[in-house]
Amino acid sequence: MGQHILPGNPPVEVNLKRSARARRISLRVSGIDGRVTLTLPRGVSEREAMAFAREKAAWLRGHLDRRAPVVEVGIGARLPVEGIERDLRPGAGRGLRLTDEALLVSGDPTTAGRRAGAWLKALARDRLAAASDLYAQRLGRSYARLTLRDTRSRWGSCTADGGLMYSWRLVLAPPEVLSYVAAHEVAHLAEMNHSPAFWQAVERIHGPYKAQRAWLRQNGAALHAYRFD
């Protein structure tokens, strides 16, 4: 249905969506990227819906203010790599190099953010492939393929034909969190549900997982604050 601007300080972009299943107007703020969605039931006008949004303006801006600020990644920025905060610094020679304190990026500083993002995606693929191989072996199942995306609604998925998908941003999280997500998705190769049998499979191939799951719930949204364009 398009976008509307809720006036105020600051103005807020509101995305309108009509749903035949909705019974009332609802306003939602994505915990991932801060996108504001105003859902309208059938028969409700856009004017009425925006009036509802104006009534909720204080609540809406409060939620947006609590979000982690966007970080444009470039030389001088600070970002987590495998759970450790690092500075993005100019590097010598070619390519990128990770140290205990920094991610060193050589070459043109104006493209450092984009190249850092590409390097992190490659590192994520290596880490997730290794973890998936390990847990698939423990489970006694094989997967068909592994793909990476920049997903907003989930950290991973498993298809009925054995395809594993992960968010590459898991490489920003501590390694044990990445490993948990890999075990979670691999366990779906045996149990395509979240039944007690599924969680038993996760614990069997991974070990205790509740701390890692809680970390994602508490901190996962912040991993989407980093922009590498």
Q: Is 80 exceeded by the pLDDT of residue 153?
A: no
Q: Residue 92 and residue 110: Cα distance in Å, rounded?
A: 15
**Distance from C-alpha of 168 to C-alpha of 51, rounded to nearest angstrom:** 39
> What span, in angstroms and rounded, lies between the C-alpha atoms of 220 and 203?
21
Rounded to two decimals, what is the model's pTM?
0.78
Rounded to whole angstroms, the Cα distance separating 182 from 109 reads 34
Does the pLDDT value for residue 213 go beyond 90?
yes
Instruction: Provide the pLDDT for residue 6.
Output: 85
